[in-house]
Structure 1
Amino acid sequence: MAASNDIVANKEAISAFEPSLWGDFFATYTSPLQRSEEWMRERRDQLNGEVQRMFEAAKAMSMADTVKLVDTLERLGIDNHFVKEIDEALCRVHDEELDFGNSNDLHVVALRFRLLRQHGFWVSADVFDKFRDGTGSFNMNLSNDPRGLLSLYNAAHMAVPREMVLDDAITFTRRHLEVAKGKLRSPMEEQVSRSLEIPLPRLMWQIEAVHYITEYEKEDEHDAMILELARLNLNLLRSVHLKELKSLSLWWRDLYDNVKLTYTRDRIVECYFYSITVFHGEESSVARIILAKLYGLFVLFDDTFDVRATFEESQMLDEALQRWDESAVSLLPEYLRMYYIKLLSNFNDIEDILEPSVKYRMAYVKRQLQLQSKFAIQQAKWLNENCMPSFKEQIDVGVMATGLQWMFLVVLMGAGQMVNNEAFEWAHNMPDMSHATAEIGRFINDIAAYKLGKCKNDAPSAVECYMKEYGTMGEEAMAAVTEMMEQAWRRMNRDYIEMKGTIKLAAQCLLNLGRSFETFYLHGSKDGLTYGGDVKDLIILYFLKEVHV
């Protein structure tokens, strides 16, 4: 959304962003190692073998113990070491449904339901009928089972469209968990508070892992060997992340100082934190760096349209992007020329490091950024003409203007051969699951803009367009947009369950992007990319808080 000529100076002053909270901290920071990396890797490999033997024994394990084991590994952030074993275990859990038919343990039934749906197995919500009375309401005696309530609350957020019983489950469990808060023992108290803020299926797994490593030790049935493995894994993964952050911080400082776009957000640490949501494990280093770099460049693009460029300058930038050639730099105002040169050169550098079999994907990423520019121009036109679009027009353009579709293609390009060509083609055609993820990003961003305040010259948000079109107040409009966001999550759940196995890895990336929106915006009460302080504590928790080996 570009500014009109007569208000650009005022807009630039109003829209000055806070400086980076991190400066060069990660460029110079060295994490103190409690043990050598070599020792930790050898010990982790040894413990991985022990857990694999547990899965062998799990073939004779009860279904309840099997789902508890899988849940523990996932919440501790070490499930990526046991993908095959977990898949085989959950296939058995799904196939041996009769073992659960007689279970009256709400925690186990709900845990099984959530895990199976999260892994793409269909499970009917009828499994919860046994916990309802003759009127269809959930039994009041369940209020005495906080663990069961919490499991049901999290499971119900795997709902697909029109599952009314799970709507009832969320309302029922949330009411009783809110009442129980403050009366529960640790770590249940912390786990309830965390899930009421962001339900487990929508929370960044990295955040859950750091919390749960601390909490798991307090559980009576905890396994000391699994806990040691989780601590080792986090320390090793953190070591890789800090090296990546150092490299990115040095790259960014050179770039940001050279382009001199001082009106933009200086947020490379937050961009990197966003990237770790998508890619799990040490082996995804290149993918994380590609995503963080291109996201950082996109933020500069976005802020130029939003807070600095006049409508005419926006058109100049768009024309240069459509040409995608250094010779087009002469079309641009002086202040954008170095950015354009750096944008093109960084795309070339990234293309050079791609595996030969996936280099073709860069052309799709470039084309999507060119389309992104067209959506920004449409928003700029609305602003320039002082036009309030209809709610549908705002959604149609605003959802695409989030950049989610472009970001998704960047993710799959960086993933290389981990994502096959069939999945990339599926993603390029923007399936409904991708559109639903973009809707979540649009709606939660617009709710945050309405709650936290936005520059008076920004294009109208979904909340404002809804208020104008339907004659509502802000609270009612936000409630309507929040419900649309909830339905988008349910479409994502449905589409993932129905997904072909060859595409599932790409679809998981979309789910992770949705989780990053929830973490950065927290129902629209925060904006972690604009206000770095909103995610500062999470960054400290994940990258810097000591975890003893």
Structure 2
Amino acid sequence: MEIYSPPIPAIKNGKSLDEIRKSAKFHPSVWGDFFLKYDSDKTKITNAEPEEPARMKERKNSKDNEDLRTLSLRFRLLRQHGYNVPCDVFRKFTDSEGNYAASLQINVEGLLSLYEAAHLLKHDVEILDRAIEFCSSHLRASLHKVASVSLSKRAGEALEMPNRWSLTRLGARKFISAYQEDESHNATLLNFAKLDFNHLQKMHQRELSDATRWWKKLDNNIAEMHFYGFHRDDTYEYATLDELRILTDAIERWDVNETLEDSPPYVQTLYKNLIDTYTEIEDEMGESYCVQYAIQEMKKLLQSYFDEVKWLYNDNYIPTLEEYLKVSVISTGYMMMSTTSLVGMGDDQVSKKDFDWIVNEPLIDQASALLARLLDDFVGDEYEEKPSSIHCYMRQYGLSEDDARGQIKQRVKNAWKDMNQECLESTPASMPILMRVINLARAAQLIYSDGDCYTDPNKSKEWVKMLLIEAVEI
């Protein structure tokens, strides 16, 4: 069997090809064939499961009042559903200078509810910025003083990852555990939540079983990809510049009959698999027009990969911040994924107008991708050697690394404000479509919360177990 040996390039600046290549040392999958066992029989949902929640919905208890906790909860729920509720409702809790009343410090339930609500903030509304600062400070000070274990646990979880930033099902799983420890919990609601969680978990397990079977021969972190909802491809951090130019040009042409026979086997395989994947999707959907939108976004993504590689081969060129973000925001893959995620939603939920809107990079899409890029840059130095927004800030504006990181943190906050704004009334797209983009941002917020939890799957192992493996005990 002939083994392909890539040509040895000239030594550049005293560095060999291996030194120039910026391939990260990614951890292999920790799950292997684990999810193959979740076939259709093991994840079968009994007839009783859907019926029990229906019966429990008929039983409810509620108490209405205008305290801080209730008002904040109403505000958060309404804004989550797209209603532009004014922030003035919180002014009765502040003084003439906009400072929150000191008497609220002992109201931990109220502080927690306000803290969660305030993360639905948008631009130019200082009262919610102040609420986050005020609540986070006093919640941290109260964590070890609160008598309720449940409340302390919920407050700690919120400070680590507020509801708006968290993956919905992971947040639900954590809340179930904390709420169960509350002596005053509503048993009916708790049981309903558990049944709902386990029901959806079985669906996810079945999907993972199918995906693992499909990709069994590939060395990919399938469980983590399912958990976060996206993939990665490191060919553009390994191949030579000439190999990548051939591959990128071929992808731009998108010729299903092209084989790239003069290229290395791994480049040929990548190209064939990419073309075959989209061809298969097109066949399944009956050559739906929406697949063409997904293909165009994939082309744009891979071109951005190539542009980044050219920086590395150009004496490790450090671009301006604007130049960097123009390319590297796209290279997160978030714009490609936001478009591709709409493909399977069906014509009853997504129209051609929606695809035209998303591919024109609306503010919510830009903000989600920007957030992913900036958060990645915070931890990327651990695995990669390439330009980052931190380097660009430092070089372009003469900032220290700490000051550059401070600038980036503020831009992350502003990105959330942009996304929140885009979800409030008179939106150009429906809430299910907008939430696809929001959920991508949530995934980024989570995986970069403790280093790079995607690149190193051991860091996310407990999340995967909690969400996809361990059922909630009923």
Task: Give TM-score, length-normalised by structure 2.
Answer: 0.90
Task: Name the structure 2 match of 1:313.
Answer: 243
Q: Is the aligned partner of 1:518 residue 2:468?
A: no
Matched residues in 2 for 1:328 and 1:32: separation?
Answer: 41
1:273 maps to amino acid:
F
SS in structure 2 at match of 1:415: coil
The sequence identity of aligned pairs, in percent, is: 29
62, 83, 90: which one pairs with 1:121? 83
Higher helix fraction (1 or 2): 1
User: CA 1:332–1:416 in structure 2 vs 1: closer, same or farther (change >3 Å)?
Assistant: farther
132, 140, 155: which one pairs with 1:178? 140
User: CA 1:243–1:481 in structure 2 vs 1: closer, same or farther (change >3 Å)?
Assistant: same
Matched residues in 2 for 1:112 and 1:22: separation?
Answer: 41
Q: Which runs of 5+ in 1 are unaligned?
A: 65-102, 258-265, 276-294
Q: Is the aligned partner of 1:109 residue 2:109?
A: no
User: CA 1:8–1:23 in structure 2 vs 1: closer, same or farther (change >3 Å)?
Assistant: farther
Task: Name the structure 1 match of 2:36.
Answer: 27
Matched residues in 2 for 1:409 and 1:346: separation?
Answer: 16
Q: Is the 8 A contact 1:5 1:310 kept in 2?
A: no
Q: Is the aligned partner of 1:479 residue 2:406?
A: yes
User: CA 1:351–1:235 in structure 2 vs 1: closer, same or farther (change >3 Å)?
Assistant: same
Task: Name the structure 2 match of 1:454.
Answer: 383
Matched residues in 1 for 2:271 and 2:23: separation?
Answer: 25
Task: Name the structure 2 match of 1:37.
Answer: 45
Q: Describe how 1:126-525 pairs up with structure 2 within 5 A.
A: 126-184=88-146, 185-254=148-217, 256=218, 266-275=220-229, 295-296=230-231, 299-300=232-233, 303-306=234-237, 308-325=238-255, 326-330=257-261, 332-354=263-285, 356=286, 359-386=288-315, 387-417=317-347, 419-421=349-351, 422-450=353-381, 453-456=382-385, 458=386, 460-500=387-427, 503-522=430-449, 525=450
User: CA 1:445–1:247 in structure 2 vs 1: closer, same or farther (change >3 Å)?
Assistant: same
Q: Is the 8 A contact 1:382 1:388 kept in 2?
A: yes
2:245 maps to amino acid:
Q
447, 452, 459: which one pairs with 1:527? 452
Q: Is the 8 A contact 2:318 2:391 kept in 1?
A: no
User: CA 1:428–1:313 in structure 2 vs 1: closer, same or farther (change >3 Å)?
Assistant: same
Q: Report the CA distance between 1:508 and its aligned residue.
A: 1.2
Q: Is the 8 A contact 1:117 1:123 kept in 2?
A: yes
Most deviating of 460-469 and 373-382: 373-382
1:374 maps to amino acid:
Q
1:446 maps to amino acid:
D
Matched residues in 2 for 1:8 and 1:110: separation?
Answer: 57
Q: CA RMSD in A?
A: 2.4
Q: Report the CA distance between 1:502 and its aligned residue.
A: 5.3
Matched residues in 1 for 2:431 and 2:314: separation?
Answer: 43
Task: Name the structure 1 match of 2:461.
Answer: 536
Q: Is the 8 A contact 1:437 1:514 kept in 2?
A: yes
Deviations 1:216-275 (A, max 9, x none): 233344332222222222222212211211111121122x26xxxxxxxx2111111112
Matched residues in 2 for 1:163 and 1:320: separation?
Answer: 49
2:383 maps to amino acid:
K
Deviations 1:56-99 (A, max 9, x none): xx9xx7655xxxxxxxxxxxxxxxxxxxxxxxxxxxxxxxxxxx
User: CA 1:353–1:63 in structure 2 vs 1: closer, same or farther (change >3 Å)?
Assistant: farther
User: CA 1:120–1:14 in structure 2 vs 1: closer, same or farther (change >3 Å)?
Assistant: closer
Q: Report the CA distance between 1:11 and its aligned residue.
A: 5.3
Task: Name the structure 2 match of 1:284.
Answer: none
Task: Name the structure 2 match of 1:47.
Answer: 53
Q: Is the 8 A contact 2:38 2:206 kept in 1?
A: no
Matched residues in 2 for 1:109 and 1:220: separation?
Answer: 23
User: CA 1:337–1:392 in structure 2 vs 1: closer, same or farther (change >3 Å)?
Assistant: same
Q: Report the CA distance between 1:377 and its aligned residue.
A: 1.9
1:462 maps to amino acid:
S
Matched residues in 1 for 2:436 and 2:58: separation?
Answer: 26
1:109 maps to amino acid:
L
Matched residues in 1 for 2:161 and 2:191: separation?
Answer: 27
Q: Report the CA distance between 1:207 and its aligned residue.
A: 0.9
Matched residues in 1 for 2:441 and 2:348: separation?
Answer: 20
Q: Is the 8 A contact 1:311 1:380 kept in 2?
A: yes
Q: Report the CA distance between 1:142 and its aligned residue.
A: 0.5
Q: Is the 8 A contact 1:446 1:463 kept in 2?
A: yes
Matched residues in 1 for 2:23 and 2:253: separation?
Answer: 32
User: CA 1:405–1:253 in structure 2 vs 1: closer, same or farther (change >3 Å)?
Assistant: same
User: CA 1:38–1:441 in structure 2 vs 1: closer, same or farther (change >3 Å)?
Assistant: same
Number of residue-to-residue matches in the alignment: 459
User: CA 1:385–1:230 in structure 2 vs 1: closer, same or farther (change >3 Å)?
Assistant: same
Q: Report the CA distance between 1:159 and its aligned residue.
A: 0.7
Q: Is the 8 A contact 2:311 2:318 kept in 1?
A: yes
Deviations 1:129-155 (A, max 9, x none): 111123321111111000111111111
Matched residues in 2 for 1:14 and 1:304: separation?
Answer: 8
Matched residues in 1 for 2:348 and 2:138: separation?
Answer: 43
Deviations 1:377-410 (A, max 9, x none): 2212221112211111111111111111110111
Matched residues in 2 for 1:383 and 1:359: separation?
Answer: 38
1:466 maps to amino acid:
Y
Q: Report the CA distance between 1:12 and its aligned residue.
A: 5.6
Matched residues in 1 for 2:348 and 2:457: separation?
Answer: 32
SS in structure 1 at match of 2:46: helix
Matched residues in 2 for 1:32 and 1:138: separation?
Answer: 55
User: CA 1:132–1:14 in structure 2 vs 1: closer, same or farther (change >3 Å)?
Assistant: same
Q: Is the 8 A contact 2:379 2:451 kept in 1?
A: yes
SS in structure 2 at match of 1:107: helix
1:478 maps to amino acid:
R
Q: Report the CA distance between 1:499 and its aligned residue.
A: 3.9
Q: Is the aligned partner of 1:545 residue 2:470?
A: yes
Q: Is the 8 A contact 1:443 1:462 kept in 2?
A: yes
Deviations 1:80-120 (A, max 9, x none): xxxxxxxxxxxxxxxxxxxxxxx3x1111111111111111
1:389 maps to amino acid:
P
Matched residues in 1 for 2:280 and 2:228: separation?
Answer: 22
Q: Is the 8 A contact 1:158 1:201 kept in 2?
A: yes
User: CA 1:499–1:441 in structure 2 vs 1: closer, same or farther (change >3 Å)?
Assistant: farther
SS in structure 1 at match of 2:462: helix
